[in-house]
Amino acid sequence: MSTSKRVIIEPVTRVEGHGRVSILLDENNNVTQARLHIVEFRGFERFIQGRAYWEVPVLVQRLCGICPVSHHLGAAKAMDKIVGADKLTPTAEKMRRLMHYGQMFQSHALHFFHLCSPDLLFGFDADPMIRNVIGVARKYPDLAVQGVMMRKYGQEIIKATAGKKIHGTGAIPGGINKNLSIEERDVFLKDINQMMEWSRGALKIAKDYTVANLEKLKPFGSFDSNHLSLIRSDGAMDLYHGNLRAITSDGKKIFDQVDYSKYLDYIVEEVKSWSYMKFPFIKSIGPEKGWYRVGPLARVNTCDFIDTPEAEAARKEFMAVTNGKPNNITMAYHWARMIEILHSIEKINELLHDKDLQGTDLVVKGQKRYEGVGLIEAPRGTLFHHYKINENDQITMANLIVSTTNNNEPMNFAVRKVAQDHLSGVPKITEGLLNHIEVAIRAYDPCLSCATHAMGKMPLKVTLYDYQGNEIDSKTKD
């Protein structure tokens, strides 16, 4: 018979889905279990069945208002396989890369300045009424303006490459439907140095904060884990394309340079009775220990090097903190994210100086196939798109593993660790506990909109249960 109590944290509004945390206590008020429940809506895979394959790169953007570009490109990459386009033209690939780096840049800027910087600048325990973007705007107006303008710069790149912000059509099966005009290029070149400078500044804030608070951050919501990401054939970080690499918490390779179209031979999605969200794990290790982290922390850990000079120098500094071994500190996600923002703007700069962007050879086609897999490193981590079609070009099967689903088990671990460290012995949800859970989840920059396939806000509700399953406390953060 269970001798545990249970505590919960829950939210709901128009759309982004629920972030609900339940915590179970034993008779001595020690935490025995803590779970993050995300109500995943799996209707999209069914919704898309019967649609023509060429519609998919546009349709999938309806999954999420936060990272539509990642879905657009993930689906387009899968459809490249369907139309037999194994190698895109230089213009098509570089335009897609520009779109992707623009997405990475704006998404990381939004997360850092809007969601994470209040925690870093005011401290985890600061009043939530101050610890928000308006608080940053009031006390650090220059920083807040930088965040807004960086986000806007990335969004404008998306608009120039995808056609528009909502339902972009840039990437099509086998290529792209437009190039970048000289006029468009020059608009971006005008501000590139400013964007580079601000990116360096944001990286410095994240690095200095992490280094200065290392001892406090080391145990915070942290744990050893495997890491997974795409990797280029020479081991470089590649956010747009590559093969799969997975490593253990101390850096041993579990698999390397795996063709991602064979992902089902390596990754399994486990279903758990208490969650609508699936729990992916590495098949060869099993569900118990085979789960892994994705996203900026995983990518910086898995790669051998970064092929842009400033981001590579930053990566070396990052790795030095853990003597070259993978970094398993949850809060180090923020530092890794800012290394990627610098890498993204360096890549954008490189691409803007590449004449291939003005090329006119935009699409290739080959022998038609009936199945296609497309993977991409979305801002929050590895994103899987897998489709099958019939002879009438209609989708018959779709399987998506979104970044936040890949990070499902790690987020649960982070919540459990924080609950154990900050709640044990006290059968009450304090403001401090709520703040700490919030900070730990936020490090992963979860896109619940994406994971739940809905859009809008993501409030947080924590509920505490006693050992008999009775709710004894509950607190919500809108």
Binding site for another protein (CB under 8 A): 11, 14-16, 19, 41, 43-44, 47, 62, 65-66, 68, 110-111, 113-115, 128-129, 131-135, 137-138, 141, 144-145, 147-149, 151-152, 155, 164-167, 438, 441-442, 446-449, 453-460, 477-478
Minimum CB separation from another protein for residue 452, in Å? 9
User: Residue 246 or 460: which CB sits closer to another protein?
Assistant: 460
The position carrying tokens 């085979």 is 290
User: Residue 126 or 268: which CB sits closer to another protein?
Assistant: 126
First to last CA, the chain: 36
Minimum CB separation from another protein for residue 451, in Å? 12
Minimum CB separation from another protein for residue 169, in Å? 14
Minimum CB separation from another protein for residue 442, in Å? 5
User: Residue 205 or 282: which CB sits closer to another protein?
Assistant: 205
Enumerate the β-bridge partners of residue 461: 476
Minimum CB separation from another protein for residue 345, in Å? 16
Minimum CB separation from another protein for residue 22, in Å? 17
User: Residue 438 or 466: which CB sits closer to another protein?
Assistant: 438
Minimum CB separation from another protein for residue 143, in Å? 10
User: Residue 90 or 456: which CB sits closer to another protein?
Assistant: 456
User: Residue 141 or 286: which CB sits closer to another protein?
Assistant: 141
Minimum CB separation from another protein for residue 18, in Å? 11
Please answer whether residues 472 and 28 qualify as being in contact, where contact means their C-beta atoms are separated by less than 8 angstroms. no
C-alpha dihedral (332, 16, 168, 110), degrees to nearest 10: -30
User: Residue 43 or 469: which CB sits closer to another protein?
Assistant: 43
User: Residue 312 or 340: which CB sits closer to another protein?
Assistant: 340
User: Residue 8 or 144: which CB sits closer to another protein?
Assistant: 144
User: Residue 166 or 211: which CB sits closer to another protein?
Assistant: 166
Minimum CB separation from another protein for residue 57, in Å? 15
Enumerate the β-bridge partners of residue 33: 24
Minimum CB separation from another protein for residue 132, in Å? 4
CA atoms of 56 and 61, how far apart (whole Å): 9
